[in-house]
Structure 1
């Protein structure tokens, strides 16, 4: 497509690639692959799918994002942010619905990149990002309570909503399995202590290896058989599934489109934030649009091969950087490592205790919550606090789709309110001080405004909110001068509502025999007004480049 800029970083970095670079990237890729293993399994299970689906996602998305992406060090795969969305989709639409929604989201991501909207995604307000990230963290924590405490619900199905889950937990809290609690606590403690001993070793992997070994011996030699493992709940397959394309129909596409938008927006935000953070560490600059196209292709391919939604994973990306990864080769190696683990070592995953994975996800949710940042934002202006809390509570109580939609609408409304507050409209009836002006000749001490002439200064964008404000000022003044000069030197743009308002104002002025002159119109606004027919309505001579010309025209009209 003409104009599409698709420049994967892999091909750029391979131009000056050396054997030393390869060795460093291979080591980083192996470590990242090992780190990604427990997280991929945990995210898969928490999302309501089988463990291998999480690993397949990390393999497929990890390879495509590194091969085609716009960042040198981005690692793609399943993330905690998608757990809530995926779980809800599966409950309502099943696995096939998830496949359709993920592929639609992939197409949307590709379109965002093709139409060069990558930079716009970065301007989503920070309170919205923190609000739904913290909300997701609390929701993930909530989903793990049952496994942390080993609760039994009998024939009752776990509700999808936040309040319903806690009500179910409260009713069945007498079924607590203290062995599960001990396993979860030990897992959390190991993860917390591992960085103090070695920053190279992933705490989640250390916890899974140690706790799984301990639980295995307890079951074999200690007579403890009340600790559920992955093998007790899932049948694990050590193979890549055959490619399958879901059946598409208009009804399914229509119902799943809002969910697909949520997946796409969340995926775009998370991947570009991760890439931006990585840029700051390695001193590089990613290509946002190329990254979005790669993320889109990854999300189209992942469900076809049995995976779930994926995006850039900031924790794994930082692990890659900290272990020396400096090119997409490290991400490709990480995908190969996970593929080998899936094919040859996956049966061992059946011994991993569910309570241990729950402990891993509790730590993930804690790190994701960013409670210190959340607390700090509560000291910001009230409008930001409203957006933050609204997004947070909507994410927790309803779902992420509603939270993102409402949060963005609120943020846009508040933005427009702030723009309106910064745009001023003033009325000048006596004289203009040249020392405060920029669009007039400076040889006059003061420029007198003739009797019967009023000058209206608009300082800021002339869009629909300001158009109404301008009308209110006109109505409040209530006077009828012979000539009105609308000074637009500080109007950077005008929208369709502003044009409509200005047109109506011109027509009203003409009916009242009030002559209207526009002054200081910049080239961009001038072009818009010309297309809208203002030359024909006012006459070309009444659209002036500066206030001197406008006042000269006014004087001629008064003397005419």
Structure 2
């Protein structure tokens, strides 16, 4: 079968029946989303360890590519809080160039995921893992903002690790700048109270405008110059820089492969989760493979302009939907609005207090914390709770790469354990009760088997976890039978370990003069058995369509052996 690429950008479909009414709605939504994205892009850029305009460049270029090539009508792309932790970690270890290389590598991985139609597979990542690392990221983001929120005077760099960071904070809380703390707390209050006044005004934008004006007035007319602003720490370049290259070498690529893979997985999960949530609101249906290709393209291009990783942003996507955006044109307009702000208004951003941005990110981390979801999941099975808190703790104490890997490993092990517990192997002698049996021929409700015939029924997948369990059942049997029927009507699949186990059983049984008959094998399992050569080992005549044929053949074989 020929492999076809599943790449169908929604923009080109949307433009076929585009009209003035749709453009008006997209224009209003795009302007509002652009304004909402402004403070977030700046805050995410600074928190990630780059200059504020790099956050804006990411939202402009990345947001444009995601909307232009994406598989969702309403997805808004840009920098998000989820990447702050991993981006800051990569910069501290490999520098800005290392981040650029890791982001390009992540983009290539995302494109490959889309080309090989693996968009659906991402959705199967267990929910406790997603909740765990999201909550862990939220806690880590909160911890990174304490220095600016309290205006702490700390000589030297703050430690990267969570425990070391808080140890330094507790040693320096006596240096708290009350003006900075007041500005941070006021910013948080404004963000929380703004929706009660008007839901159309973004709380973060209202906080930044009001607090920046207040801070400027305090500094100019009251002589209060202890409030640190963006301009005190960064110089802002109000322009899109020319693309710059960077050197690849095998050693750097090898070292950056794990964080690049984490960026790709996190970007895929967050963007597809955002698109799925959007589908639930709009009634639309996104193309996950096209979306992954678009996300990958954005992450390949953005680093050449100094940007940071791009993904779908749930909050901005929902803002787009709530304000009438229904086609990718709204996302393109949002990118244009941010470009105009960067070119003509970015000098004003130098007056924004760092404590105000810290307050914005505190609210972002609170919204990401998923504490209500965690509280609701406490009634779930203990295995899910264990996966959730393991992922959360590893995210906080170590890093996201280790947390996702360990969470997936735990989830797989626990899943296999559940499968093993739900798979039963029963032994039947003399008579098989066919009441309510799918293989019943309605002539009778029971199938008689002769003395010397044992029937082993496997109810569940025959994989490596069950193979040893089947061996144990076989070895606990007392007197040797003359014929063994293995009833496989409820076996949905068999893996290589199951095939190996079955082959060994047939060979060992043959050596002891015991015939093995396979009954009720479904087509897919039968095909696997044929490819593995089980038919030559057991005999084609001993692979029976149902238990009636298998029992008749077993009874004849026993009669022949007895004679």
TM-score (ref. length: structure 1): 0.99
Match of 1:326 in 2: 326
Match of 2:433 in 1: 433
The answer (yes or no) to whether the contact 2:59–2:78 under 8 Å persists in 1 is: yes
The answer as to 2:358 corresponding to 1:338 is no
The answer (yes or no) to whether the contact 2:66–2:295 under 8 Å persists in 1 is: yes
Match of 2:533 in 1: 533
Match of 1:507 in 2: 507
How far the C-alpha of 1:114 sits from its partner, in A, is 1.0
SS in 2 for 1:524: helix
Match of 2:466 in 1: 466
How far the C-alpha of 1:478 sits from its partner, in A, is 4.0
The answer as to 2:244 corresponding to 1:258 is no
Match of 1:131 in 2: 132
Match of 1:56 in 2: 57
For 1:243 and 1:406, locate their aligned partners in 2 and report how far apart those are by CA, in whole Å.
37
How far the C-alpha of 1:440 sits from its partner, in A, is 4.1
SS in 1 for 2:457: strand
Match of 2:71 in 1: 70
- Deviations along 1:87-130, one digit per CA (max 9) or x if unpaired, are 00000111111011111111111111111111111111111111
The answer (yes or no) to whether the contact 1:440–1:546 under 8 Å persists in 2 is: no
How is 1:124-523 mapped onto 2 (pairs within 5 angstroms)? 124-154=125-155, 156-523=156-523
- Deviations along 1:516-556, one digit per CA (max 9) or x if unpaired, are 11010111111111111112111110111111111121122
For 1:345 and 1:445, locate their aligned partners in 2 and report how far apart those are by CA, in whole Å.
83
- Deviations along 1:54-101, one digit per CA (max 9) or x if unpaired, are 000001110011011111000000000000000000001111110111
For 2:39 and 2:26, locate their aligned partners in 1 and report how far apart those are by CA, in whole Å.
21
For 2:47 and 2:216, locate their aligned partners in 1 and report how far apart those are by CA, in whole Å.
22
Match of 1:108 in 2: 109
The answer (yes or no) to whether the contact 2:64–2:332 under 8 Å persists in 1 is: yes
Q: Which moved more, 1:88-97 or 1:111-120?
A: 111-120
SS in 2 for 1:485: strand
- Deviations along 1:458-511, one digit per CA (max 9) or x if unpaired, are 011111101111011111224310110000011111111111111111111111
How far the C-alpha of 1:316 sits from its partner, in A, is 0.3
Q: 1:445 to 1:173 in 2, by over 3 A?
A: closer
The answer (yes or no) to whether the contact 1:228–1:354 under 8 Å persists in 2 is: yes
For 1:526 and 1:138, locate their aligned partners in 2 and report how far apart those are by CA, in whole Å.
51
TM-score (ref. length: structure 2): 0.98
Alignment RMSD: 1.0
For 2:230 and 2:137, locate their aligned partners in 1 and report how far apart those are by CA, in whole Å.
24
For 2:41 and 2:189, locate their aligned partners in 1 and report how far apart those are by CA, in whole Å.
21
For 2:107 and 2:361, locate their aligned partners in 1 and report how far apart those are by CA, in whole Å.
26
How far the C-alpha of 1:45 sits from its partner, in A, is 0.2
How far the C-alpha of 1:330 sits from its partner, in A, is 0.2
For 1:105 and 1:479, locate their aligned partners in 2 and report how far apart those are by CA, in whole Å.
60
The answer (yes or no) to whether the contact 2:447–2:551 under 8 Å persists in 1 is: no
Q: Hey, which bits of structure 1, 4+ residues long, moved more than 3 A?
A: none
Match of 1:11 in 2: 12
The answer (yes or no) to whether the contact 1:89–1:97 under 8 Å persists in 2 is: yes
How far the C-alpha of 1:419 sits from its partner, in A, is 1.3
How far the C-alpha of 1:437 sits from its partner, in A, is 2.0
SS in 1 for 2:306: coil
For 2:331 and 2:364, locate their aligned partners in 1 and report how far apart those are by CA, in whole Å.
21
- Deviations along 1:135-183, one digit per CA (max 9) or x if unpaired, are 11110000000000000112x3211110010001011111110000000
For 1:15 and 1:526, locate their aligned partners in 2 and report how far apart those are by CA, in whole Å.
48
How far the C-alpha of 1:298 sits from its partner, in A, is 0.7
Q: Which moved more, 1:167-176 or 1:38-47?
A: 167-176
The answer (yes or no) to whether the contact 1:434–1:442 under 8 Å persists in 2 is: no
For 2:238 and 2:115, locate their aligned partners in 1 and report how far apart those are by CA, in whole Å.
37
For 2:129 and 2:434, locate their aligned partners in 1 and report how far apart those are by CA, in whole Å.
45
SS in 2 for 1:456: strand
How far the C-alpha of 1:288 sits from its partner, in A, is 0.7
SS in 2 for 1:521: coil
For 1:498 and 1:460, locate their aligned partners in 2 and report how far apart those are by CA, in whole Å.
12
The answer (yes or no) to whether the contact 2:425–2:457 under 8 Å persists in 1 is: yes
- Deviations along 1:284-340, one digit per CA (max 9) or x if unpaired, are 111111111111111111111210001000000011011110000000000011111
For 1:479 and 1:105, locate their aligned partners in 2 and report how far apart those are by CA, in whole Å.
60
How many equivalent pairs are there?
559
SS in 2 for 1:188: helix
Unpaired segments ≥5 residues, structure 1: none
- Deviations along 1:331-372, one digit per CA (max 9) or x if unpaired, are 000001111111111111111000000000001111111211
How far the C-alpha of 1:414 sits from its partner, in A, is 1.0
The answer (yes or no) to whether the contact 2:452–2:483 under 8 Å persists in 1 is: yes
For 2:445 and 2:256, locate their aligned partners in 1 and report how far apart those are by CA, in whole Å.
67
SS in 1 for 2:485: strand
For 1:524 and 1:202, locate their aligned partners in 2 and report how far apart those are by CA, in whole Å.
55
How far the C-alpha of 1:421 sits from its partner, in A, is 1.3
Unpaired segments ≥5 residues, structure 2: none
How far the C-alpha of 1:441 sits from its partner, in A, is 2.4
- Deviations along 1:194-228, one digit per CA (max 9) or x if unpaired, are 11111111111111011001101111110000010
